[in-house]
A = this chain, B = another copy of it.
Amino acid sequence: MFFHVQKLINEIVADEPDPAAANILQEGLGGQFGEMRTMMQYLFQSFNFRGKAKPFLDLIQGIGTEEISHVELIATTITHLLDGSPRYQGNGSPGEGGSTPLSMAPNAPNVHHFLVAAQGAMPVDAAGNPWSGSYVYNSGNLVLDLLYNLMLESTGRLQKCRLYEMTSNKTARATISYLIVRDEAHERAYGKALEALGVNWGKTLPIPKIDNLKYPEVRELVEKGANTKQHHFRLDGSLMSAIFRGESPTHDGSTLTTVDEPPEGFPIPFLPERPEEFAPGLTPELMALAQQLEQMSRV
């Protein structure tokens, strides 16, 4: 069973709207190596988990639960990057006398963001391909599933490093940097799990081998230890710490720590009405009905 707290796992940093940045971030949400995929892959591996090696189940499922919050974080980031693009911000009169408040949309990287999703995130990648269930890998063989997961996190981190180099928008970079660091933590987790079964990674991890000091936002998170800690996101305890502990498989002197307490979380910024999108599109009359309902419930 799953439960929700209406907070984000990382902060949304304010900056200008940026549809191009929003679009490339879609790869991290709905791409073949994005957060929807890690989430679904780890959840299916957990639901189908066989045998008695329970710490491995708890590790995979705990990371899988974290990934739902990553989906929430990156979707929210995309929505805020799309909301109120510079060229029509403040123009609240769609079609008034034939105006074109969405005139920039036909040349946006993905016009669906404006035409279909009302300036919101979509379950697609940066080239517009919808997320597919065929992405999910779950062979049932534990060594193989762990090996795939390690490769998956590494590819996710590789793509996010490339994303970092594509944009200087602060809203985008804050989320990208957070995910670079967390993907690295997950690389350590799966690398460690395989180490427990006899593999020695030498100096190959993490992949890619980047110098964290080069990216200011990443460095800040690393200094807080965000790449060596792992919450288990369980309300009923977890055996994850049997694996995620001790020397890191990166062999760089760092130590892994499983954290029991849930993260505190950050507030979710408000999204205003967009009349040019008819979203949410309530007339004053319908809005009055909606408010009436809230008031009645307080009685």
Contacts and interface: CB of A to CB of B under 8 A. Distances in A.
A145 B165 CA distance: 21
Given A131-B133, A142-B282, A203-B285, 12 more contacts: A1-B265, A2-B69, A4-B235, A49-B280, A103-B168, A105-B166, A114-B166, A129-B130, A132-B134, A144-B154, A199-B202, A242-B297
Contacts of A68: 2, 68
B293 A55 contact: yes
Give this chain's copy count. Answer: 6
B207 A197 contact: no
Contacts of A114: 162, 166
6 contacts: A5-B234, A48-B79, A143-B286, A162-B276, A197-B202, A198-B204
Given A129-B128, A130-B132, A271-B48, A107 B20 contact: yes
Contact of A106 (B109, B136, B144, B236): B109
Interface string A177-211: 00000000000000000101111111110011110
A134 B30 CA distance: 11
Interface string A246-282: 0000000000000000110100000111101111111
A51 to B, nearest CB: 5
B140 A3 contact: no
B204 A194 contact: yes
Interface string A46-85: 0111110111100001100100110110011001000000
Contact of A272 (B50, B167, B217): B50
Contacts of A214: 93-97
A120 B48 contact: yes
B1 A5 contact: yes
A199 to B, nearest CB: 6
A3 B199 contact: no
A267 to B, nearest CB: 12
A75 B56 contact: no
For A44, A65, A144, A271, which residue has the most chain B Cβ atoms within 10 angstroms? A144
Nearest to A26: B111
A199 B210 contact: no
A7 B3 contact: no
A83 to B, nearest CB: 9
Interface in A144-172: 144, 147-148, 150-151, 154-155, 158-159, 161-168
A226 interface: no
A90 interface: no
A4 B155 contact: no
Contacts of A106: 20-21, 23-24, 109, 166-167
B123 A44 contact: yes
A247 to B, nearest CB: 12
